[in-house]
């Protein structure tokens, strides 16, 4: 196995190393290793950018689910697990609800459309994340989310009002809760004045409501506790060493894609193709070496993305590396290259 030294040219070490992916650290263990305790599967659904992935990452204390400041960072169903004493919580992170028009506009995979419904079929309970920070959308639940909840009315559901750190006045939260629950929680009317003429804007069958900031962690432990209390006795579906059902390839590619979404404007990052070219775990050194290439639609865009003197690409690379260290809890050596299809190469 070739090692990489700091000054080594990126092209030479890529040529030296075998182009394959080895030693998946997240692969399922044998069934006999699985513990018996309590287990709960939780589908996390909501509008795009409401903070679903950020919330899951905060609860499990690992950046397994890719998150960014742009909509549609999550493009497929991803499982992320955590363990609280004898309980395994399996989160199903879903893409934000997406219309046919958005799918075309952002060049999104068609599989996204069915992911939320698929997650509901695998879940014991559903958590709806709602963004309280945007005044244009905060007063009602997304209509597709309500439709989805109505299709699984027998499944316990809870509401998570997120981004409360962005609210100037917390007084509006009670009105918000009333609107989003149609004035009912766990079958009980919320005390206080009601407006009988008010149009229904939410879902009447939530069993609980949480007000949180997924970003800074406020209120997040209450959700974890609620889920532990709702878990049922059963065999763990994953071993306690597993944090996700994704392969390292998928985790790394999604982390890179999310970072390009964070750093680049408008629709530019949605048109990039991210590919893991090389991955290797060196167990005795607790180290991961990986190389990722990003295909740009044109040379002009490639230079724009790279930034003056490659500065932006360096920033992206360093930020991805920090996220991957958080995911794998190992030293990460990352190479990140931009290229135009069958053409030019820019290395960070
Ligand atoms: N201020 C604040 N920002 C938050 C909070 N939670 C999430 N965010 C930010 O909201 C943005 C979207 O977060 P994501 O976790 O990617 O949202 P998502 O719902 O998974 O997004 P999609 O992939 O589009 O479905 C990111 O920039 C987060 O940092 C919060 O509690 N407070």
What is the DSSP code (8-state) at residue 28?
P
Rounded-to-5 percentages of helix, strand, coil across the chain: 35, 25, 40
Q: How far is the centre of ligand 1, averaged over its atoms, from the C-alpha of 248 (Å)?
A: 23
Cβ of 213 closer than 6 Å to ligand 1, yes or no, is yes
Distances 212 to 80, 126, 166, 186 between C-alpha atoms, Å? 20, 17, 11, 19
DSSP 191: S
Of 60, 65, 142, 215, the residue with max ligand 1 atoms within 8 A of its CB, to mutate for a pocket test, comes to 215
Rounded distance from Cα 192 to ligand 1 centre (Å): 32
* For the CA of 71, the nearest atom of ligand 1: 24
C-beta of 50 in contact with ligand 1 (< 6 A) = yes
What is residue 23's predicted lDDT score, i.e. its pLDDT?
Answer: 38
- CB of residue 87 inside a 6 A radius of ligand 1: no
pLDDT, residue 102, reads: 80
How far, in Å, is the centroid of ligand 1 from the Cα of 68?
7
What digits encode the pLDDT tens for the residues 186-235? Answer: 999 988 776 665 677 899 999 999 999 999 999 999 999 999 999 999 99
- The complex's ipTM works out to 0.99
Q: Which pTM value belongs to this model? A: 0.88
Residue-by-residue DSSP string for 154-169: TS-EEEEEE-GGG-S-
Token pair listed for 26: 């997240």
- Summarize pLDDT for 145-159 with one digit per residue, the tens: 999 999 998 999 999
Give me ligand 1 centre to Cα 211, in Å.
15
How deeply is 12 buried, as exposed, middle or buried, from its count of CB atoms within 10 A (0-12, 13-18, 19+)?
exposed
Which residue's alpha carbon is nearest to atom 30 within ligand 1? 163
Q: Taking residues 251-274, what's their average pLDDT? A: 93
Would you state the pLDDT for residue 67?
Answer: 97
Ligand 1 lined by 167 (C-beta under 6 Å): no
Residue 172, CA distances (Å) to 164, 169, 231 in order: 10, 6, 32
What's the mean pLDDT in 308-318? 94
In this prediction, residues 301-324 reach a mean pLDDT of 94
Q: Is the pLDDT at 25 greater than 50, yes or no? A: no
Instruction: Output the CA 3–ligand 1 centroid distance in Å.
Output: 37
Domain boundaries, the chain: 36-235, 248-340
* CB of 60 closer than 8 Å to CB of 91: yes
Beta bridge partners of 235: 36
| Domain made up of 248-340: CATH architecture | 2-Layer Sandwich (3.30)
Is residue 91 within 8 A of residue 123, CB to CB? The reply is no
Nearest CA to ligand 1 atom 4: 215
Please state which architecture CATH assigns to domain 36-235: 3-Layer(aba) Sandwich (3.40)
Nearest CA to ligand 1 atom 14: 51
Tokens of 161: 């009002």
């Amino acid at each position: 196995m070739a090692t990489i030294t700091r000054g080594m040219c990126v092209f030479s070490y890529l040529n030296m190393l075998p182009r394959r992916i080895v030693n998946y650290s997240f692969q399922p263990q044998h069934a006999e290793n699985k513990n018996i305790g309590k287990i709960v599967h939780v589908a996390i659904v909501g509008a795009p950018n409401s903070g679903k992935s950020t919330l899951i990452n905060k609860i499990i204390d690992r950046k397994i689910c890719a998150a960014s400041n742009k909509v549609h960072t999550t493009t497929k169903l991803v499982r992320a697990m955590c363990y609280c004493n004898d309980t395994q919580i399996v989160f199903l992170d879903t893409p934000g609800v997406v219309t046919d028009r958005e799918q075309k506009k952002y060049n999104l995979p068609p599989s996204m459309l069915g992911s939320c419904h698929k997650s509901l079929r695998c879940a014991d309970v559903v958590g709806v994340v709602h963004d309280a920070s945007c005044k244009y959308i905060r007063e009602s639940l997304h209509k597709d989310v309500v439709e989805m909840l109505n299709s699984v009315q027998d499944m316990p559901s809870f509401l998570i009002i997120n981004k409360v750190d962005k609210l100037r006045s917390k007084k509006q939260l009670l009105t918000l809760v009333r609107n989003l629950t149609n004035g009912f929680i766990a079958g009980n009317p919320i005390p206080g004045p009601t407006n009988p003429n008010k149009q229904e804007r939410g879902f009447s069958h939530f069993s609980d409501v949480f007000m949180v900031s997924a970003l800074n962690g406020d209120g997040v432990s209450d959700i974890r506790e609620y889920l532990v209390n709702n878990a049922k006795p059963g065999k763990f579906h994953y071993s306690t060493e597993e944090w996700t059902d994704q392969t390292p390839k998928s985790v790394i590619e999604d982390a890179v894609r999310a970072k390009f979404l964070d750093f680049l404007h408008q629709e530019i990052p949605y048109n990039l193709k991210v590919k893991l070219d090389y991955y290797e775990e060196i167990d005795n050194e607790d180290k991961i070496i990986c190389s990722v290439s990003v295909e740009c639609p044109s040379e002009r865009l490639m230079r724009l993305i790279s930034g003056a003197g490659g500065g932006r690409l360096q920033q992206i690379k360093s930020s991805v590396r920090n996220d991957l260290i958080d995911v794998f809890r190992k030293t990460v050596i990352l190479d990140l290259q931009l290229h135009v299809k069958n053409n030019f190469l820019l290395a960070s």
